Amino acid sequence: MDKDGNCGAVLAMQNIANPISVARKVMEETPHVMLAGKGAEQFAYEQGFEKTNLLTEESKQAWEEWKKTSKYKPIINIENHDTIGMLAIDADGEIAGACTTSGMAYKMAGRVGDSPIIGAGLFVDNEVGGATATGVGEEVVRTVGSFLIVELMRQGKLPQEACEEGVKRIIAKNKDKQDFQIGFIAINKKGETGGYCIHPGFTYRTYTKEGHVNNPSDSYLKS
Ligand code: ASP
């Protein structure tokens, strides 16, 4: 998603190593914002991306093993997922963002998480700031989490405060169930950043001219 509110996403796309680059092509080269499944894959080939077999022997064996019980039970911080969310601000204060994921592992065929849904896994409004999410995507979709955080910043909250409120909204919808992880990060027009999560163990990185800093995020639950 760029500073002008242009955005692109691909979902349920197989055989392409870098879907984030295909998402960018959707934004830049099509009148659409989302392409899914075979249509997304076909578009990727048309744009010059190569067909790649992403199934390793190791993950195939792990999947065969999982099928013996077929239990979907994400374990906090090692939930078999891998989202990378990035928010960037340039010297003129222009903001853009991106996120990419394989999604939760061992899910139902056809399941779509939050990451490709603009407003859920990622949102940027260049007048205000940007936010992105990781964790159990269903919960982020239910609160339109990243959009919510940007809107909270529009109302005057700092990125840190907005991320905390975003997590609290999810907690409020899950009073009896907190055995899952969500992490949000956010940035505002001044370049101020924040991050917050449900369970300890979520760390985000900030990159500036001075170098790289790892920021262990504060969490709603303390242990
Ligand atoms: N949010 C992703 C999903 O639900 C998982 C992740 O954060 O890695 O698919």
Ligand 1 center to 155 CA (angstroms): 27
Nearest CA owner, ligand 1 atom 9: 103
pLDDT digits (tens, 9 = 90+) for 144-201: 999 999 999 999 999 999 999 999 999 999 988 888 899 999 999 999 999 999 999 9
pLDDT digits (tens, 9 = 90+) for 131-142: 999 999 999 999
Ligand 1 center to 31 CA (angstroms): 27
Determine whether 115 is exposed, middle or buried from the number of CB atoms within 10 Å of its CB (0-12, 13-18, 19+).
buried
pLDDT-derived band of residue 73, with 50, 70 and 90 as boundaries?
A: confident
CA distances from 85 to 10, 23, 90, 208, 212 (A): 15, 14, 17, 17, 16
Ligand 1 center to 152 CA (angstroms): 22
Q: Could you give the CA distance from residue 56 to residue 34 in angstroms, rounded to a whole number?
A: 28
101 lines ligand 1 (CB under 6 A): yes
Ligand 1 center to 210 CA (angstroms): 30
Domain(s) of CATH 3.60.20.30: residues in the chain: 84-219
Nearest CA owner, ligand 1 atom 1: 137
Task: Report, as residue numbers or ranges, the catalytic residues.
Answer: 83
113 lines ligand 1 (CB under 6 A): yes
Mean pLDDT throughout 75-102?
89
Q: Is the CATH number 3.40.109.10 carried by domain 84-219?
A: no
114 lines ligand 1 (CB under 6 A): yes
On the question of pLDDT at 46 being above 80, the answer is yes
Q: The pTM is what?
A: 0.94
The percentage of residues in the chain with a pLDDT greater than 90, rounded to a whole number, is 85
> For position 126, what pLDDT does the model report?
98
Torsion angle (degrees, nearest 10) of CA 164, 169, 172, 174 = -100
82 lines ligand 1 (CB under 6 A): yes
